[in-house]
Structure 1
Amino acid sequence: MTDDELRQRFLYPNGTLKNKLNLQDAETLSTVEYQMVAYNAVWLLGHGYVIKSMDDFAKLHRFLFGDLYSWAGQFRDYYLAKGGTDFMPPTAFDLAVTNINQQLRTIDALKKPTVMQYAQLLDSLNYLHPFREGNGRTTRLFIQLVAAHHAQYIDYNHQDSAVITALNQSDLAKLQEFIKVNNID
């Protein structure tokens, strides 16, 4: 798919993401998206949603963003790069999903997963980057729900530029600094 085809598929002529509400002002869309996603995330966290596999990753994305975007929850079928970072080609998604499902099985078998295991999961999900938008928020919620199943919660140390650099470099040591695991019990 060419860049022009992708722009036509996903963007209004002014560059705002096409959406179900037909909001064509980027700032308004951003505000509405933030409110909807925050509300949906809080609802999920309060209802004990249990992560079992990568199928849940797509379901989470659809739940968070589905009221706004018709493509929510659908893995992309095109190449994606942002900020100088190339993400996984869609031809490799099956292998990545198998790898992440194995990570989830390993984590699920433990009483208390480690910061390193969460950092590895974060890194794997970030490189996969299966959606046009909303990957980071979906990833953080996905990992938070995995942790909740183990009576843990994740406190993400907000260092956005440092985290993005660490993710782009797959620097697990730096990612571990970004994640603080707290036990609920």
Structure 2
Amino acid sequence: MVLKNKLNITSQVELNKTEEKISKKKAIKLFDSGKINKINAGTVEGLQQIHKFLFEDIYDFAGFIRNVNISKGNFRFAPVMYLEQSLKNIEKMPQSTFDEIVEKYVEMNIAHPFREGNGRATRIWLDLIFKKELKMVVDWDKIDKEDYLSAMERSPVKDIEIKHLLKNALTDKIDEREIFMKGIDASYYYEGYDEYDIHKLFS
């Protein structure tokens, strides 16, 4: 079933392409405008702002906490009835060390607060925490898709793999546009969105 969208697209293939194109452009606009630096890193509100900015041209629910239960494969994300409290607890989690930041990220992934677009928004959110607290960001282009997906799948039980992957991909090039752009392409590729090279959208 195709998610209801503002563009009245009824084909999943067409929606995927359009969503990728529009939201990748919005991601770069978020960076180029400087708005990304005004987001309060590590907060639920900050994550909502990122999600809204990326997807507001496509979905009415952009930036809003979901009111339906969702799952992926055999994994059920936080039930709606516990989601609000779960997000409050996550926001209170410390974020001053690498381990604390990744643990907070893992918990936010388990919460999956939005109807769609969680991974893409939350990876930007994670980078903002790393940038604020450690003066580092993730060079996502260095992390293999299958390695990342399997590490995230296991992360609710064992987070050593995702910590290893992220630690080895950290860079101090925190304000470099190219790192951000390549990171967006990689982030979308993890989710199966690889129709558009972000550089060609701006050529």
Fold equivalence (TM over 0.5): yes
Unaligned runs of 5+ in 2: 175-203
Q: In structure 2, do the counterparts of structure 1 residues 122 and 137 end up closer, same or farther at CA, with 3 Å as the change threshold?
A: same
TM-score, normalization: structure 1? Answer: 0.78
Specify the alignment match of 2:118 in structure 1: 135
Specify the alignment match of 2:8 in structure 1: 22
Aligned residue among 75, 78, 81 for 1:88:
78
TM-score, normalization: structure 2? Answer: 0.72
Report the Cα offset of residue 168 of structure 1.
Answer: 2.9
In the alignment, the residues of structure 2 paired with residue 85 and residue 164 of structure 1 have an alpha-carbon distance, to the nearest angstrom, of 13
Specify the alignment match of 2:24 in structure 1: 38
Specify the alignment match of 2:184 in structure 1: none
Specify the alignment match of 2:146 in structure 1: 161
- Root-mean-square deviation (CA, aligned residues, Å) is 2.0
Secondary structure of 1:147's aligned partner: helix
In the alignment, the residues of structure 2 paired with residue 152 and residue 44 of structure 1 have an alpha-carbon distance, to the nearest angstrom, of 19
In the alignment, the residues of structure 2 paired with residue 164 and residue 85 of structure 1 have an alpha-carbon distance, to the nearest angstrom, of 13
In the alignment, the residues of structure 2 paired with residue 44 and residue 182 of structure 1 have an alpha-carbon distance, to the nearest angstrom, of 20
Deviations 1:132-152 (A, max 9, x none): 110000110111122233431
Amino acid at match of 2:163: Q
Secondary structure of 1:126's aligned partner: helix
Report the Cα offset of residue 65 of structure 1.
Answer: 0.7
- Find out whether 1:118 has 2:101 as its counterpart: yes
Aligned residue among 17, 41, 49 for 1:59:
49
Contact 2:68 2:115 in 1 (8 A): no
In the alignment, the residues of structure 2 paired with residue 118 and residue 159 of structure 1 have an alpha-carbon distance, to the nearest angstrom, of 21
Unaligned runs of 5+ in 1: 1-14
